[in-house]
Structure 1
C-alpha cells in the first residue's frame, strides 16, 4: 500500500489558492464553488473549508494573494534600478503593473472578477482601496522629488488612472494578446510630459 504524502500547510494552501485562480478563470467568480476548487486542487471540500472557511473567506485570501504578488513584483523591479533617479523608479512601478504576472489571461480574469465583486463585498472593497492607495502613494513619493506638492498629486493621480485604464482596456479585450510594450510606451509618454514640466519650473 502506497503511503500518503502529507504536504506542509503552506504548500497545501498555495495549491488551493492556485486552483481557485484556475477555476475563476474557467467559470468566473460568481460561478465558482468550493467543490470545484477542491476537485481542481485534488483535496476534499473539508480541507478547503478547514483552511479558508467559506467561499468568501477563500476569495478574500485569493485577493490578498494577488495584492501580495503585485507588491513583490513591484519591489523586484524597483530593486533592479541602477540609476536611483525618480523617473527610473516610476518606470519600474509602471513595468511591474504590466509585468506578465499581472497581464496573463488568468491573472486578468481574476483581477477583473475581483474588481467587479468589490462593489458588493466590503472586505474586497477594502482590499481594492489598499491597492489603489499603494499605487498612488508610491508614484507621488517619486513625483514629489520633481514637482511641487499640488503638481505631484495631479501627476501621481493621472498616472495611476492611466495605468488602471490601460490595464482595464487590455483586460476587456479577450481576443488579442496584451501588448506590454505599447502600454508602457503610452505611460512613458505621460511621464515625459511631467518631466518636461518639472524642467520648466
Structure 2
C-alpha cells in the first residue's frame, strides 16, 4: 500500500528533475527516462503520474510559476511602501532560486517550446500578466497609470532580457541585474518628478 503523501512528493521530485534536466541540456531534448532517473523513480512511474513528457513539462512550468508566485506574495506582504513593492518584485525575479543557471536555462527552453505548445504559451502569458500587475501595483501610485504602464513594460522587458543574457552566459551577476532594473525604474520616476506641473 502506498504511503500517504508519496504521490505529492514524487510529483514534486519529477517537476524539479524536469527543470534540472532541461536546464542542464538547455533544451527540451530530454526523455522521460532522463527525468525519472534524476528524480530517482522509474520511467513507468513518471508516465503513471504525468502521462507524457509534454504533460510533465507543463506541470514543471506550473511549478516554477507557483514558486515565483509564492515568493512574490511573501515579498509584497513585507514591502512597506509603493516603491518597496516594485523593489520586492525585482528582487524576487533575480533571487538565488529564480536566477539560478538551471532555472534560467529552463525558462529559455520553455519560451522556445511555447512556439509550438499552446499550454506553455498560456502559462507564460499568465506569468507576463502577473509580473505586469505586480509592478503596476507599486508604480501606479508613484507615476500615474499612463507612465506606470510604460515603466512597467520597460522593467519587464529588462527582466526577460537579462534572463536571456544569463542563459547565454553573457548576463550580469544577480545583484548587478537587480541594480540595472532598479536604475531604470528610478531614472523614470525622477524624470516624472522633474516635469513641470
For 1:19, the equivalent position in structure 2 comes to 17
RMSD between superposed Cα atoms in Å: 2.0
Give the conservation status (yes or no) of the 8 Å contact 2:101–2:166: no
Give the conservation status (yes or no) of the 8 Å contact 1:86–1:142: yes
Deviation, 1:171, is 2.1
State the Cα deviation string for residues 34-86 of structure 1 (Å, max 9, x = none): 122222222222211111111110000000011111111222222332xx221
Structure 2: gaps spanning 5 or more residues: none
Deviation, 1:5, is 7.9
1-side partners of 2:25 and 2:159: how far apart?
Answer: 27
For 2:84, the equivalent position in structure 1 comes to 88
Q: 1:199 aligns with which of 189, 193, 197?
A: 193
Cα distance change of structure 1 residues 5 and 52 upon mapping to structure 2, 3 Å threshold: closer
For 1:147, the equivalent position in structure 2 comes to 143
Give the conservation status (yes or no) of the 8 Å contact 1:103–1:171: no
TM-score (norm 2): 0.90
Determine helix, strand or coil for the equivalent of 1:102.
coil
Give the conservation status (yes or no) of the 8 Å contact 1:146–1:198: no
For 1:56, the equivalent position in structure 2 comes to 54
For 1:135, the equivalent position in structure 2 comes to 131
Give the conservation status (yes or no) of the 8 Å contact 1:63–1:124: yes
Q: 2:152 aligns with which of 131, 149, 156?
A: 156
Determine helix, strand or coil for the equivalent of 1:38.
helix
Cα distance change of structure 1 residues 85 and 197 upon mapping to structure 2, 3 Å threshold: farther
1-side partners of 2:161 and 2:22: how far apart?
Answer: 22
1-side partners of 2:140 and 2:192: how far apart?
Answer: 10
For 1:45, the equivalent position in structure 2 comes to 43
Cα distance change of structure 1 residues 67 and 179 upon mapping to structure 2, 3 Å threshold: same
Aligned length: 194
TM-score (norm 1): 0.88
For 1:185, the equivalent position in structure 2 comes to 179
